[in-house]
Amino acid sequence: MNFSVYVNWPGAIHEGNGEALVLIDERADDAQRSAIETLIGGNVGGPWGVLGWTWPEVHGPYAVSYDIAFDGVKTRIRCGQYVEIEGDSIRNPVTGAESHPGVVHPEGVIFKSGDLGTTARFRVTRDIAYDHSGQYLALGPFDYAGP
């Protein structure tokens, strides 16, 4: 089941005071929606336990359709009409050649290893609005499990 949280922080993440937009797959049933709301509330650990307190204002959750095409850093995601993300490779500014850096962080909270790229497009347009096109992108597999 797909869900996503988009946050606009006024400063550094660890300073908090963020404003979040929560989107949940429109196919989710009531039990799935409740479980996702519990996760992102930050009271059950994992990355949500680290980050949940940083967004005291939450918009949603809103039910939306998800259109996702996984392709490494060139992954594309559309969440209803509110979020559009299109990734791309980092390019050498002189030659234009693609570069494929990665990160390995065994102690990472969000993910342990991933690929780095750039956002060709990254726009959020409901309740909070921002455009992070042309910015940093990290994409990696994750596996969250309860205690």
- 12 φ, ψ to 5°? -65, 145
Q: State the residue range of the domain holding 56.
A: 3-139
Question: β-strands 19-25, 57-64: how paired?
Answer: parallel
pLDDT in tens, the chain (147 residues): 899 999 999 999 999 999 999 999 999 999 999 999 988 888 888 788 889 999 999 999 999 999 999 999 999 999 999 999 999 999 999 999 999 999 999 998 888 999 999 999 999 999 999 999 999 999 988 877 665
pTM over the 0.75 mark: yes
| Maximum CA extent, the chain | 52
pLDDT at 64: 98
CA distances from 55 to 9, 11, 17, 36, 98 (A): 8, 12, 6, 16, 35
Q: How many structural domains is the chain composed of? A: 1
Contact indicator for 106, 112 with CB cutoff of 8 Å: yes
Residue 109 in domain: yes
Residue 146 in domain: no
Residue 9 in domain: yes
